[in-house]
Amino acid sequence: MRPFIVANWKMHGLKADMNEVKAIDSAAAKFDHIDVGIGLPATLIHLAAQNAGHAQIGAQDCHQAQQGAHTGCLSAAMLSEAGASFSIVGHSERRADQAETSRLIAQKARSLQNASMGAILCIGEDLATRQSGTALDFVAGQLVESLALADDTSLSPERLTIAYEPIWAIGTGHVPELTDIAAMHSKLRSQLVSSFGPAGDAIRILYGGSVKASNAKDILALKNVNGALVGGASLKAESFVPIIAAA
Ligand code: PGA
């Protein structure tokens, strides 16, 4: 399986940061056995797509409807036309700040798939859930809910990527024990196979949460860790490219 290393720039980045995009793109050309994605603010997608030939340019959210009276929102077709080939959906910051539910996130992922775009669907437990010892079942349940569409159908396994991001590890410098990451990814793999059959084996499961050059190699070597979703360390090529190299 080709590793997928994805930058999540969150609400960072202006035109002046295009040199970082270009440097990341050069690394993507060099490491051509790895898929590299850059999840950008929507305002930078068009420009970045013009400047990148190897890295995939992506968004960080998308509305679930194709079009309509939704002030301030962007559809999958709009993001695709701007030059995005994927979008992150269901990041824990959106689940918290915008009260997004797993049901809504499934609809967003479906709208991306309908526009022939990739969806990186995020799941992960908070600290209290981790400490209570119920994280494996909680996150597997969140995955099932985030795959289910209202009409009792499910998302397609095509162009679907899962990102496991423990909320307590995001932006904190705290990373779970490697054995805990491996246990979670193994649980999620089993769940994907039980949801999709053999196609579930081909879905990439990324780890995210305080990934940096110093821990990337060990994390990416774990079974069923098929890439990384990187926030803080992805904003500068000098800290992100070593993570690509570690894969
Ligand atoms: P972080 O963020 O790498 O800064 O922890 C990861 C994410 O939120 O995707």
> Ligand 1: distance of its center to the CA of 174 in Å?
11
Taking the mean position of all CA atoms in its chain, how far away is CA 167?
14
**149: which residues sit within 8 A by CB, 6+ positions away?**
106, 107, 110, 155
Q: Is 229 in the pocket of ligand 1 (CB under 6 A)?
A: yes
Query: pLDDT grade, residue 59 (50/70/90)?
Result: very high
**72: which residues sit within 8 A by CB, 6+ positions away?**
none
Backbone phi, psi, residue 119, to 5°? -120, 125
Element holding 153 (H helix, E strand): none
Domains of the chain: 4-246 (3.20.20.70)
Q: What is the pLDDT of residues 222-247, one digit of tens each?
A: 999 999 999 999 999 999 999 999 99
Query: pLDDT grade, residue 50 (50/70/90)?
Result: very high
Mean pLDDT of 66-91: 98
Q: What is the pLDDT of residues 191-213, one digit of tens each?
A: 999 999 999 999 999 999 999 99
Residues 42, 82 contacting (CB under 8 angstroms):
yes
Question: What mean pLDDT is reported for the chain?
Answer: 97
Residues 193, 231 contacting (CB under 8 angstroms):
no
Q: What is the pLDDT of residues 161-185, one digit of tens each?
A: 999 999 999 999 999 999 999 999 9
pTM equals 0.97
Residues 207, 183 contacting (CB under 8 angstroms):
no
Q: Is 165 in the pocket of ligand 1 (CB under 6 A)?
A: yes
Atom of ligand 1 nearest to the CA of 122: 9
